[in-house]
Chain A
Amino acid sequence: MIPVGFAYERPSSVDGALALLAEHGEEASVMAGGHSLLPVMKLRLAAPELIIDISKLSELSYVKVDGDEVAIGAGTRHSTVERSDVLAAESPLLAGVARTVGDPQVRHRGTIGGSLAHADPASDLPAAVLALGGTVVLRSPRGTRSVPITEFFTGVFSTAKEPDELLVEIRVPRTGGAGWAYEKFTRRANDWAIVGVAVVDGRVGLVNMGQTPLRATATEEALAGGASIADAAALADQGTEPPEDLAGTKEYRRHLARVLTRRALTTAAGG
């Protein structure tokens, strides 16, 4: 449980972090909360040569309304997202989902940007941002670009982010009073979801139903076409290839996706 030796840098600005990333690229790992990175390092499943610690970069920690969107700094802790008045009013799904991440200790360390960049299909927030139809903002010395969340996740633990890029901001639409719900199904309170379903404004994001967080597009289309919640939810697992592990078979996860989608849609509809 002792990691392989590594170098450690704690830049004092985003530009400093970007310079380090440009220099070290794939040999470096960016660390924010460290709750995903450090365990795999201790198990020696990961051995980055350099840790770039961005946890103290206050310029990455904010939640603010910006036009039709809410902009959230990538370094914003889950505990901040959870308690944000702005999000409670403008995008309550995100605050509600953040509240279900891990336990209080984890939420005081982990960040929304870390969660998205880590791209664990079993994590809560990626599916929530997917359901929201958000955007991620990536910066490198080459410039800044926005990537729609639908194009960001490319596989298990992999994203469209280039090695020299830093995820700096997450933008989600202001959904205001639109119905939302998050159904997270676990064995234990602070386990990863066996399956999770995030619903907002008729859009459905699925946790742990494939290589990446997924949208339940068949359900969304059925809803848009006027189908009942029950009928639409019955399509929630269409097109998914869920993983199989001790907590769930493929068949069980498909079943849970349908049940949880129905429950989440019902809650979101005020039922």
Chain B
Amino acid sequence: MLNYVWSGLIIFSLIFALAVDSQELVENRFRNDTPMPVTVAFPEGYAPDARRQPVRIQIGPSQYKEFFGVDAAPAPSYEGTLLQTKSGRQLQFSTEGSLPEPLSTIRSFHESDDNPALRGTLAKVASLSPSTQRVETAVQFEPVHFRKLNAIAEAALNFAETAASLALGLIGILGLMLGLVKIGEEAGLVHALADTVQPLLSPLFPNVPDGHPALANVTLNLLANVFGLGNAATPLGIKAMEDLQDLNPDDETATDDMVMLLALNTSSVQLVPPSLLVAIMGLQINQLIFSITLATFFSTIAGILGALVLSKLPWFRATAPHRLADATDDD
């Protein structure tokens, strides 16, 4: 099951990314080969020899709408820098402030660690002199394609790195919690309430005879879950399962009692949160323990009712080991 969910996530990511990318290519959403018309204003006049000079970039709202075919409207003007090199003039938008779509997407696609700004090559301008105040021109951005394909590859690398550093960051709190519950385990916390809880569980396990050790182990297993003693819970659960198996007339088919144990186990009330959750959520766990305890209250009831009702359905009733054994006894 997990195999399918997991590979489904990965394969579907690729398919989805390819679909989005090819749609963008077909629509030419980013106008990859066409320069965008802009007006560049020089507040202090054009400086022919400056490698960098501050400019204001103005984009006509209606022109912008028509050019990209979007509803987003640009701001009246943007701060920017004009870079002049031998190979030509580059227009660079300031990194401060937000850009309208799809410019912000173009920016994030091309941004690198050392230059996060949106930049493009300025079209040839016939005449620029120190007296020029403003010039209408156009700017050609680097083409954007296979944006999502790039994004999923990047995400995979980033998240793999996050996973490892996240886990290592949990060591401290995990150690603290596991140390605490170990004390609870050694102190016999699960035994403290066993005598009170055991009679309550007895009606749920009708095939366990009075005084049989199975019920004691079932109780200890469930209490270990309640107190968050995960390490102790599993061996106790297996012990309880072995006891129930001893009572099972059929070696390969689960009894109603076994299913009840599982249903209680997977839904059991939690008073102490799991250590891993404490490590991830930190102080938030203070509040969450209330929602967890309350939610487990409902899921425990659901687990009990689910196991009881399903065991009465003809489909499952037909295979119940104890019932079959009783029927053979009658013959």
A joins B in a complex: no
- Interfacial residues, chain B to chain A (CB-CB below 8 A): none
Residues of A within 8 A of B (CB): none
